[in-house]
Amino acid sequence: ILNVEQSPQSLHVQEGDSTNFTCSFPSSNFYALHWYRWETAKSPEALFVMTLNGDEKKKGRISATLNTKEGYSYLYIKGSQPEDSATYLCAFMDGGFKTIFGAGTRLFVKA
């Protein structure tokens, strides 16, 4: 059974704070780890696709790291803004392209 866990479940921060969340996934049969940003009433939007152990990706104030050997990825947001408020999903994809999503971390950024 594939299990993808994200923590924390939700996070409340002040504008300007930096924050990070964790995604844990199986360390076997790894193909890719995806991060998505999901705003209420919209569809999930791809942030990063990470495939190699040690990968680091960056997009503006958001960055992510990957450790496939121990099965975790971190997503960092530097200087959070109210518009960063969303649910951040990670998804583990195995060698057969089966993709399992975590439950997400819901971020609330207060102005």
Partner 1 sequence: DAGVIQSPRHEVTEMGQEVTLRCKPISGHNSLFWYRQTMMRGLELLIYFNNNVPIDDSGMPEDRFSAKMPNASFSTLKIQPSEPRDSAVYFCASSLWGYGYTFGSGTRLTVV
Distance from C-alpha of 55 to C-alpha of 11, rounded to nearest angstrom: 25
Shorter beta-carbon distance to partner 1: residue 59 or 110: 59
Of 30, 34, 64, 71, the residue at the interface with partner 1 (CB under 8 A) is 34
Q: What is the SS3 string spanning 63-89?
A: EEEEECCCCEEEEEECCCCHHHCEEEE
Q: Is 43 in the site for partner 1 (CB under 8 A)?
A: yes
User: Would you give the end-to-end CA distance of the chain in angstroms?
Assistant: 41
Smallest distance from partner 1 to CB 88, Å:
12
Of 11, 32, 64, 107, the residue at the interface with partner 1 (CB under 8 A) is 32
37 neighbors 83 (Cβ within 8 angstroms): no
Query: Which secondary structure element, helix H or strand E, spans residue 40, and what is its range?
Result: none
Q: Is 11 in the site for partner 1 (CB under 8 A)?
A: no
105 neighbors 21 (Cβ within 8 angstroms): yes
Report 62-101 residues binding partner 1 (CB under 8 A): 89, 91, 93, 96-101
Smallest distance from partner 1 to CB 21, Å:
15
Shorter beta-carbon distance to partner 1: residue 44 or 71: 44
Site of interaction with partner 1 (CB under 8 A): 31-32, 34, 36, 42-46, 49, 89, 91, 93, 96-104
